[in-house]
Structure 1
Amino acid sequence: MTKVKYIVILCLCAFQTSAQFNLEFHVGRGSYSNSELKKYQASLVGRFLVGGKVLESFPAFWYYGVDAKWNLPNSQVGFSVSQGSTGGQVYYADYSGTFREQQLLKYKTFRMLTAARFAFNEGSTSIQIDPRFGLAFATLQINRSISATDGTQPFEFKENSSFKAVNPFFEPTFSLSHRLGPIGINIFVGYQLDLASNIYRESTGRPFIFNGTGLPMNLSGLRTGGSIGFYLGRAKEIDFTPVYIGIGTGLDFGGIGLNVMSMVTEHLGLFGAVGYNLANIGLNGGVRLYASDQSAKWRPYFSAMYGYNAVYIIRDASTFNRTFYGATIGIGVDLKNSRSNFWTFALQVPFRSEDALEYKNYLEDSNIEINRDFLPFTISLGYRIVIAN
């Protein structure tokens, strides 16, 4: 988490520069598909606990978080962090005892904000249309208790298990904002669509098995809410190219994919990437800090990002494929080959999580052979073009 904090600090440093910065605190209400978890509840009642009841089945509930945004002339970029929860409960009772199972679901989401911004009412009111790609980190806590008796002696049993999963998602969002001096008020509506169905697993890598297969995570659903925030700094004219799009391969392209970067100063850019890592959707978001201005032919840079940085691809056993997320830093150079377009090269060092390294032990215990270890570095190659001036 310390590495992630450094990335956030780099982003926040930009508010003192050319782009106007605003910090917002949001509250929203989300609905959650959790289709497979609901089937799991129905299976408990229908197959094992005939006459039992589903007391709760993952209802819509509140979530909250913070947004950091930089306002450019016709766009808005930044990031958003949220956390929320929902849950389910199954109950059964008869003359011999009771059975209760609680499914408590907590999650945190990290989103990259890249909105088109349309201002009116002399600039005090604006509409934002934002695709919002991000990552959702979920923890599913299963608490099971059984109380029974044979008529002579009582019996008590309790079991607690914890499972985790991470899904990339796409959350198209429409927002309406109004500014009152240094204070901004915003309302929004969007829909989160999970781009993958990664399986809930224990820390050892063992999956949550239901009907013979792993139970997948699915937090897709409607997101509505509002926020209040504060504007810091003044809007200034900018004389640098603000938005680029690139295609390439590497961690900063999500595997093989696209990278969109918006410059908040001439030397600092925020980027988001979505791609395919040969097993799943790969997402990454972060910052680039350039050592030279945009007129230079060679532009060395330092990058820091968070997202996909490890993947296991198991041939002929795709259910064991798994993507892991963490922080990555790197150095690179942009080589301009025309007035605004350029090639980009980078050497990147991923900080892989303990879960990513321990998953190898789980695979070996499952009689799956791993032919090679992770390299300590990766290489990125891409080509970028201007999409907004």
Structure 2
Amino acid sequence: MSYPKTFLLAVCLLLTANTTIAQSKVYLEPRLGFGTFRMQSMKELQRVMIANTGLNAKATDTYGSYFQFGLNVVSEIGDQSRIGFFIEHGSTGGRVAYADYSGEFLLDTPLNYNAFGGLFYHHQAIKESKLRYVAGAELHMLMTNMKLEAYTKINSQTESSDDKFSSYGLGFKPFVGLQYPLMHFPTTLSLGYFVDTNYPFHVPGEPKQQLVINSNNKTIHPGWNGLRVNLAVSIPIVR
């Protein structure tokens, strides 16, 4: 998977912005996550497109759990709290594949998102141990990209399409976790639930040209809602 240009640009912007935080400790926190995705609207798109073929096709991949990766840039506000910015990239996808003597149908709908926003968390030692508990929240700005690749062959007649769509939205993730120093670097394992709201998928640059799936002009939205597990390591860069 290649790094999106917008994701790399956001890294540079966040690093530049946080160098202006004077007289504070600043930390880089690379993070790796794993999440579930509801994607109810996308699953409905699969069902409608299968029904339109008239074939006995079934979904073979329905927007399963997958990894995300990102970077936090945070500074201390007091001894037990941090505030800052983050960026994150994640992806999932769905597939329908079917072939028999009557025809063939293939539908691929890979999705990915780039997110940036602000975060805050509080951390406090558990009794006298090195183990600390963590609680916080993140506010996300989401940019979702989707490819819709379809191929149908029925009675020697074939049709294919390859379209791209975009969507924008907001998300919020409260989380709790545990932190422990590994090789002197505080390492946090957290669990949260991500809730989002998004505009309908549309042709890039043309927000009024929305993706619809039936005669009632029902629109399709990404649904990134779900559980998130994150592992992050704090690396001081400014003391």
> Normalising to structure 2: TM-score of the pair?
0.84
Matches within 5 A, 1:149-298: 149-150=155-156, 155-180=157-182, 182-194=184-196, 196-203=197-204, 204-205=206-207, 206-211=209-214, 212-234=217-239
- SS of the residue corresponding to residue 36 of structure 1 reads helix
CA distance in 2, matches of 1:179, 1:202: 47
- The one-letter code of the counterpart of 2:41 is E
Q: How high is the sequence identity, in percent, across the aligned residues? A: 19
**Aligned equivalent of 2:3:** none
- The one-letter code of the counterpart of 1:115 is Y
- The one-letter code of the counterpart of 1:43 is V
Tell me if the contact between 1:124 and 1:180 (Cα under 8 Å) persists in the aligned partners.
no
**Aligned equivalent of 2:123:** 117
**Aligned equivalent of 2:95:** 89
What stretches of structure 2 of length at least 5 have no aligned partner?
1-5
- 1:41 corresponds, among 42, 46, 71, to 46
- SS of the residue corresponding to residue 42 of structure 2 reads helix
Tell me if the contact between 2:150 and 2:162 (Cα under 8 Å) persists in the aligned partners.
yes
Shift of 1:124: 4.7
Q: Deviations over 1:59-102 (max 9, x none)?
A: 01111111111122231101121111111011232324311110
Shift of 1:183: 1.6
User: CA RMSD, aligned part only?
Assistant: 2.5
Q: 1:147 to 1:46 in 2, by over 3 A?
A: closer
> Normalising to structure 1: TM-score of the pair?
0.54
Tell me if the contact between 2:15 and 2:73 (Cα under 8 Å) persists in the aligned partners.
no
Tell me if the contact between 1:49 and 1:92 (Cα under 8 Å) persists in the aligned partners.
no
Q: 1:114 to 1:217 in 2, by over 3 A?
A: same
CA distance in 1, matches of 2:96, 2:9: 40
**Aligned equivalent of 2:62:** 57
**Aligned equivalent of 1:137:** 143
Q: 1:158 to 1:43 in 2, by over 3 A?
A: closer
> What is the number of residues matched between the two proteins?
228
Tell me if the contact between 1:108 and 1:137 (Cα under 8 Å) persists in the aligned partners.
yes
